[in-house]
Amino acid sequence: MKEIITYRKIIHIDMDAFFASVEQLDNPELIGKPVAVGGGSERGVVAAASYEARKFGVKSAMSGAMAKRNCPNLIFVKPRFSRYKDISNKIRAIFYEYTDLVEPLSLDEAYLDVTVNKKGNPSASLIAKEIRNRIFNELHLKASAGISINKFIAKVASDINKPNGQKTIPPEEVVTFLEELPIEKFFGIGKVTASKMYNLGIFNGKDLKEKNIEFLAKHFNKAGLHYYNIVRGVQQSEVKPNRIRKSVAAEHTFTKNLTSEVFMLERLENISEELEQRLINSKVSGKTITLKIKYSDFKTQTRSKTLPYFVKDKAIILDTVKELLFQEKVKNSVRLLGISVTNLNTLSKKIEKQINVQLKFEF
């Protein structure tokens, strides 16, 4: 008897230059111009860049000063996260018309499991196209999509025909696709890991597949098993509609470096207040409090303490952070301070059960 292989149908939707596109939408004078959302000062950071700006090498997480050097005509606009969140909610409302299995990754991207969907449409590719068309027609924004048998491949596929395109990797093409994929294109493999793989003679999926699990474990520890599986198209992670949050944080980068703990305490009080509000809004509390210190030489240090009870109160957070701050002398002037709360009470919540449905229709 022939074995029946079951697959999921996963769509990864990724908005194209979301923050910058929203700014161009709301201000037509910015259309066709290089736009960066964020600060253009020496301490400013680019949160997002339009495709016109990306042509000059401007990208997210780049300093505003460097972005300006790369693109002298770059236009900086201040982030409006409430506006981005409002539009993101409208986009998600469209998703939910097709499936309840929606896993948001951020304001501008999400996974959808359409194995069984509300429209009764047997084609995940057509569903992705319909969703992208609706986002454009109703919200006047562009999105790209990747469609395949698991989240990893769908995520990789969504980058292939960006912007404003989509790519489907059906089950019968998964092996070939992964074997031909350059190793740096694998989602989750950054520059450092890619460089290490190059040195080991791994330049694409086929090279990776030729390495046995012992070799990969030796050179990449626990990640070795992950690499061994994903290059074979194996990933069991299901789309989680209620993604469990693991941390809540707040941090500030300062216009001038801080050289005294007195000034740092003032800033940490403000950050604690902001963090408290985020915990309240998220309806969570946590046991582990971490102080993040980034020095003027860009070296980062973290100091943590785990309490015997869950907290979200500003006063308790600040008292703990003070203790962490004076744990040892601050080594240099400080450009950034941050506080995070982890070990949250959400971790006790149940994760949705995995859905495993036999597929009998086309991708």
| Strand ranges (E), 18-101 | 35-38, 46-49, 75-77
Q: Name the catalytic one among 23, 103, 109, 238.
A: 109
Note if 109 is an active site residue.
yes
Give which of 80, 224, 229, 218 is closest to 151, Cα–Cα: 229
Contact 163, 144 (CB under 8 A): yes
Complete DSSP assignment for 196-251: HHHHTT--BHHHHHTS-HHHHHHHHTTHHHHHHHHTTT---PPP-TTPPP-EEEEE
Cα–Cα distances (Å) from 284 to 105, 271, 307, in that order, read 19, 17, 15
Give which of 173, 184, 118 is closest to 146, Cα–Cα: 173
- Alpha-carbon gap, residue 332 to 50, rounded angstroms: 36
Cα–Cα distances (Å) from 29 to 15, 24, 168, in that order, read 21, 7, 35
Cα–Cα distances (Å) from 78 to 22, 27, 94, 249, 337, in that order, read 12, 13, 27, 21, 21
Q: Which residue, chain included where needed, has tokens 């990208």?
A: 59
- Alpha-carbon gap, residue 361 to 115, rounded angstroms: 10
Please state, as a whole number, how many other Cβ atoms lie within 10 Å of the Cβ of residue 155.
Answer: 20
Contact 124, 9 (CB under 8 A): yes
Query: Which are the catalytic amino acids?
Result: 109
